[in-house]
A and B are shown apart, each in its own frame.
Chain A
Amino acid sequence: KAGVTQTPRYLIKTRGQQVTLSCSPISGHRSVSWYQQTPGQGLQFLFEYFSETQRNKGNFPGRFSGRQFSNSRSEMNVSTLELGDSALYLCASSLGPTGGDSPLHFGNGTRLTVT
């Protein structure tokens, strides 16, 4: 069974631009979560989707948005990029609702660099 697939793996953007990251969950997984990893900050929760509905959102500005499609694939968009947005963005899927006895399975991430 294929794992979580994130595209692209690497991205370089300029301040002020916008970016869209893509995530394909494990087949059969309906929940998709997004996390931002920066040095020293661990993994910071961005949002979680289940059956195309956002059920929770982390403490990030409105420039960060996402959506989930009917096939469970998800996209994350960051508008008006800032230097501080440079990070590894990780997508994870789970079989059941996130939390409880339903661990997250992560992709290898998209490394975003903002110059």
Chain B
Amino acid sequence: DQQVKQNSPSLSVQEGRISILNCDYTNSMFDYFLWYKKYPAEGPTFLISISSIKDKNEDGRFTVFLNKSAKHLSLHIVPSQPGDSAVYFCAASDSGTYKYIFGTGTRLKVLA
């Protein structure tokens, strides 16, 4: 049972435009969500997080939106840069379970 889903395996965006990565979840008990970026041969790097008590969190070019009623979150990258080309994972946690559930990832390619 895949509790966290990233339905788009890949996404291509032109440099300077907006990248929107999507993530859906099924467990209404999830109360914390994170986004990670992963380059080949490296471990995932933490990007940004959001608590379920918020619907938006910004950090520079990265903004995460949470729609609890739709059980959906998205990561916006504006403007996109070639260095943003990587695999992006969303993850969710139910506090007290001491684990994060990860999606299968979306490969973003930013074209120069």
Q: Which residues of A contact B (CB under 8 A)?
A: 4, 31, 33, 35, 40-45, 48, 50, 55-56, 58, 90, 92, 97-101, 103-109
Report how many residues on chain B are interfacial, defined by Cβ distance under 8 Å.
28
Give 28 A-B contacts (CB < 8 Å), ordered by A residue: A33-B99, A42-B6, A42-B89, A42-B102, A42-B103, A42-B105, A43-B44, A43-B91, A43-B102, A45-B101, A45-B102, A48-B98, A48-B99, A50-B98, A58-B99, A98-B99, A99-B93, A99-B95, A99-B97, A100-B95, A101-B49, A103-B34, A103-B46, A103-B49, A104-B46, A104-B91, A104-B100, A106-B44
CB neighbours of A33 from chain B (8 A): 98-100
- Residue among A45, A55, A107 facing the most chain B CB atoms (10 A cut-off): A45
The answer to whether A107 and B43 have CB atoms under 8 Å apart is: yes
Nearest A residue to B39 via CB reads A108
**Cα separation A55 to B95 with both chains bound (whole Å):** 13
Distance in Å: Cβ of B82 to nearest Cβ of chain A? 22
Q: Which parts of B1-47 form the interface with A (CB within 8 Å)?
A: 6, 31-32, 34, 36, 41-46
Residues of B near any A CB (own CB < 8 A) = 6, 31-32, 34, 36, 41-46, 49, 51, 89, 91, 93-105
Q: Which of B42, B100, B102 has the most CB of A within 10 A?
A: B100
CB closest residue in chain B, given A47: B99
Q: CA of A33 to CA of B89 in the docked complex: distance in angstroms?
A: 17
**Shortest distance between the CB of A60 and any CB in chain B (Å):** 13
Asked if A40 meets B42 with Cβ closer than 8 Å, knowing A100-B31, A100-B95, the reply is: no
Task: Look across to chain B and name the residue whose beta carbon is closest to the beta carbon of A105.
Answer: B46
Given known A42-B103, A42-B105, A100-B31, contact A56–B97 (CB-CB < 8 A): yes
Q: Are B99 and A99 in contact (CB under 8 A)?
A: yes
Which of A40, A41, A100: most chain B CB closer than 10 A?
Answer: A100
Report B-chain residues with C-beta under 8 Å of the C-beta of A92: 43
